[in-house]
Structure 1
Amino acid sequence: MGGRTGERGSAEGQLRGRTVLPVRSTGISRAVRRRVVRLRRAGRPEVISAEFEPVWSRIAAWARDRPDSLAVCGDGGDVTYGELWSRAQGLARLLGKHGVGADDRVVLVCSRGVEFVVAALATWLAGSAYVPLDPAMPARRLETIVDEARTSAVLASPEHLATVRRRELVISTADGSPGEDLSPPTLQPQPAYVVFTSGTTGTPKGVVVPHSGLSNLVRWSAARHGLDENDRVLHTFGLGFDGAMLELWPTLWAGATLVTCSDLCRVVGDFVAEEAVANSCTVVWAATAIAEQVLSKGLDLPGVRLLLTGGDALKVRPSESAGYQVINHYGPTEATVVTTSHVVEPGSGQGPPPIGTPITGVEIALCGPDDLAVHDGEVGEILIGGHGLALGYLGDAARTAEAFPTVGGRRWYRSGDLAVRDADGVLHFRGRKDNEQLKLNGQRIELGEIEAALLELPQVMAACAVMTEAGLGALVVPSSEQQVDERSVRGGIKDRLPWAAYPKWVVTARAVPLTPNGKVDRAAVVQLVLARRTTILERVRHHD
């Protein structure tokens, strides 16, 4: 790039990326400077206070000032703030007696609700970081993660002790040790938790998140969502999913009540609505696919003021008659759960909802293949900076250095996600660099574009497009009890997509398959599509 175009890219790079991009700092024209000022006013993220307060300290304050207020209730039992703090202190002292302390990691194999919250707080009070595992995950994967985490101890709910009985140090969350209050260290860069996500090699990778990043997220969420002691927040996420951090800690930070519900809420939107109403919830968190079920069906949520969602690309908007506000969230595990948010306007025909603007303390830069900032309206990779960055991948310095480059003296995370920034500074998600974009017969195909076309059909409530060994396939969920005719589906999208993007195989289902974390299970969709292909081919052979 040269001339004024190069100057423009450099100026935007300095603004949006704070020198994360290769730039020349001289020769910026007056016109470009004016543009920088406009962008700075429109999109510069709010700067968080330098004062640091660990999450546990606010919970301790509630335990002191309002000990009888309900902290957690629901399927996992009830506990007040005073009882919660007392149990966490006792369990932390027991960990200390076993030599667990600073720089250690403790695996949590606990039921959602009281047992998990007690175990997590106890781990922090002992000066350690917790590693949350979903007890429902396959035993082999659980064992693999425990090995990879290289932990000092395992805290398990009484009902899950048998799952990890072979470990050297396994402590029940029902145990504890009396004594004086603990004063844990509060260093900002100290790890708060380690979440394991799927790795490209097949081995889960542990993302190490510091207390500073979690505190930044929690303070933002509590303020942005207006949480206070009168709120009751429905807890639906699986514990192995970092989205659970958004349900747990902002709720308890604000002195509100966390309401646990049936595991069915992780896969069925109707159960989310039922549990929210039955438990007088005011705020509901739901994984994207579950929130889309609630929105597509127009489920009533009396008493609920906020439906908060994230974890995947949201494609559905609330109806004009919805009595609650929907807020969409975007963010990778490596940037402490959430980096952008957006209030979703009701109505249809406006395209997929945006992912919004950066949260407090977070910076976003969009860059092209040359690592220069892209122009508004151009697709670029999302680079994330600021207070939310993880410390890196556990025991993998090489992968950490690759994913978290230091440029201009500052760390950034390369998300691999693509987005477009509009003229108002709002970000619109455009899929992944690695696997959402395909080329068939020389034509570039976006799976998201296929899904968007399918969702425009009135007979389709949800859709997922995949590439299989047999070609493009799609799973659709009918919007009514009537069966969807596959030919009508293909016919309905023929004017919306290039011919190369027509799904060769279409399968219908009552719901889109989900992973235990509530994300679309594309591998399961591939298998359903291939099974459909096999059935059709067998019919053809039989007919012949």
Structure 2
Amino acid sequence: MNDRTQSGSAPGRLLLPGLFRAQAARTPEAPAVLTEGGAAWTYAELEHHAARHAAALRAGGVAPGDFVGVCLPRGPELIAALLGVWFAGGAYVPLDPTYPEARLALVLEDAGATVVLAGHGTAARLPAGLTVLDVADAPDSVPAAEAAGFPLAPDPARPAYVLHTSGSTGRPKGVLVPHAGIANRVRWLAHRHKLGPADRFLLKTTVGFDAAGLELFSPLISGGAVAVAPQDAERDPAALLRAVGDHKVTVLQGVPSVYRRLAEQSGWERATALRLIFSAGEPLHAELCRALAELAPRAEIWNTYGPTEASVDITEHRWDPAQETGAVPIGRPIAHMRALVLDPAGRPVPVGVPGELHAGGIGLALGY
């Protein structure tokens, strides 16, 4: 059988909400979120703001299992709002404020979300009939007894979030990602690549794409920091590279087309802290890897693969400059995931025989 798996520790009892709170208890004064200009939120501050939003959501009638829209620009408040939804027991529905109003309405309707956390001025772009909670109106403080009741270990099979892909018709299609799936992916990345307090993971992906989950939560369960890229930096390679240098980013992920544009920029001499470069979403070729390796010689370059329906990624492979030319392999499965190459009848094919890639394991979205 062409079934390639990789061992790893069993999924832990604590999922991402509990893992973050445990880290915040260990390092309350460590920086958790870095923003432009050097401003930072500590773990204690991030946990405090998340608790504020959780309290507002509960007061607004949100119950465990409810879907909650989050419509905020990239920044510390967005991270606090996402954690706040989890603290309240809900699942978040990410809404990019720059999306057309019709798209926002379709996503909310499909998810069945009736409550939205939003920023000042965003409510006007949301459909009528919703309960819109302005993040600025959250309570300043939360009683300790109430904060202690926020769930550390939600049901692993309960949705953590719902992401909407375009689908074959162009209409948004919701993918329900369970807590167990995203926790497995984030824990694996943090463990496999030894993330720690010195790491800075650049948040540049819009929250409506699944890769943002790795940028958001991998550092926050490891004692590191989320370095927030400026708005629209993903479309401005020069600004993106400046953010890497300014924040001393150690971990960067992106698609090859973005990396090709980054490789053309000047300023790589300031990106000396980079130690991990992850590529996903498009085929990766050794020629690009060599260019990146010359610009960031201390960094390991990893190719990852996986659909949204499998909690971001299911496989990874480290590029080997001594042996690999041409297309870079997608690698082997991460812990608690399976990758099988099957023929049209659903039977495993021998090694080297073409077939269709199938995924299995803890990361599969609900309903798959």
Same fold per superposition (TM over 0.5): yes
375-384 or 209-218: bigger deviation: 375-384
The residue aligned with 1:343 is 318
Q: Which has the larger radius of gyration?
A: 1
- C-alpha displacement of 1:364: 0.7
Describe the shift of the 1:203–1:215 C-alpha distance in structure 2 as closer, same or farther (beyond 3 A).
same
Query: Tell me, what secondary structure is at the counterpart of 2:136?
Result: coil
Kindly provide the amino acid, as one letter, of the partner of residue 303 in structure 2.
N
Query: Tell me, what secondary structure is at the counterpart of 1:130?
Result: strand
The residue aligned with 1:318 is 290
Q: Establish whether residue 254 from structure 1 lines up as the match of residue 222 from structure 2.
A: yes
Q: Establish whether residue 54 from structure 1 lines up as the match of residue 22 from structure 2.
A: no
The residue aligned with 1:241 is 209
- C-alpha displacement of 1:233: 1.3
- C-alpha displacement of 1:146: 1.3
The residue aligned with 1:526 is none
- C-alpha displacement of 1:164: 2.1
The residue aligned with 1:280 is 248
Q: Deviations over 1:336-373 (max 9, x none)?
A: 00100111233898111111111111111101112111
The residue aligned with 1:83 is 45
Aligned counterparts, 1:275-314, within 5 A: 275-295=243-263, 300=268, 301-314=271-284
- C-alpha displacement of 1:176: 2.2
Kindly provide the amino acid, as one letter, of the partner of residue 320 in structure 2.
E
- C-alpha displacement of 1:208: 0.2
Task: Pick the aligned partner of 1:97 from 34, 48, 59.
Answer: 59
**Unpaired runs of 5+ in structure 1?**
1-11, 17-42, 393-403, 405-544
- C-alpha displacement of 1:113: 2.1
The residue aligned with 2:359 is 384
84-93 or 45-54: bigger deviation: 45-54
Separation (CA, whole Å) in 2 of partners of 1:347 and 1:139 = 50
Separation (CA, whole Å) in 1 of partners of 2:120 and 2:42 = 20
Aligned counterparts, 1:421-500, within 5 A: none
Separation (CA, whole Å) in 1 of partners of 2:240 and 2:353 = 38
Separation (CA, whole Å) in 2 of partners of 1:266 and 1:133 = 17
In the comparison of the two structures, how many residue pairs are matched? 354
The residue aligned with 1:183 is 150
Q: 1:75 touches 1:113 (CA, 8 Å); kept in 2?
A: no
TM-score (norm 2): 0.90
Separation (CA, whole Å) in 2 of partners of 1:379 and 1:268 = 39
Describe the shift of the 1:241–1:361 C-alpha distance in structure 2 as closer, same or farther (beyond 3 A).
same
- C-alpha displacement of 1:131: 0.6
The residue aligned with 1:108 is 70
Kindly provide the amino acid, as one letter, of the partner of residue 277 in structure 1.
G
Separation (CA, whole Å) in 1 of partners of 2:5 and 2:193 = 20
Question: Alpha carbon RMSD of aligned pairs, Å?
Answer: 2.1
Describe the shift of the 1:50–1:290 C-alpha distance in structure 2 as closer, same or farther (beyond 3 A).
closer
Separation (CA, whole Å) in 1 of partners of 2:312 and 2:118 = 24
Higher relative contact order (CA 8 A, sep 6+): 2
Separation (CA, whole Å) in 1 of partners of 2:353 and 2:275 = 35
Q: Deviations over 1:90-110 (max 9, x none)?
A: 211111111101121001101
Task: Pick the aligned partner of 1:330 from 287, 305, 308.
Answer: 305
Q: Deviations over 1:123-146 (max 9, x none)?
A: 111111001121122222112111
Q: Establish whether residue 137 from structure 1 lines up as the match of residue 99 from structure 2.
A: yes
Q: 1:268 touches 1:293 (CA, 8 Å); kept in 2?
A: no
- C-alpha displacement of 1:187: 1.2
The residue aligned with 2:24 is 63
Q: Establish whether residue 44 from structure 1 lines up as the match of residue 1 from structure 2.
A: no
Task: Pick the aligned partner of 2:123 from 161, 172, 190.
Answer: 161
TM-score (norm 1): 0.62
Query: Tell me, what secondary structure is at the counterpart of 1:89?
Result: helix
Separation (CA, whole Å) in 2 of partners of 1:307 and 1:277 = 14
The residue aligned with 1:220 is 188
Query: Tell me, what secondary structure is at the counterpart of 1:390?
Result: coil
Identity percentage of aligned residues:
33
The residue aligned with 1:172 is 134
Q: Deviations over 1:510-529 (max 9, x none)?
A: xxxxxxxxxxxxxxxxxxxx
The residue aligned with 1:152 is 114
Q: 1:295 touches 1:317 (CA, 8 Å); kept in 2?
A: no
Q: 1:52 touches 1:212 (CA, 8 Å); kept in 2?
A: no
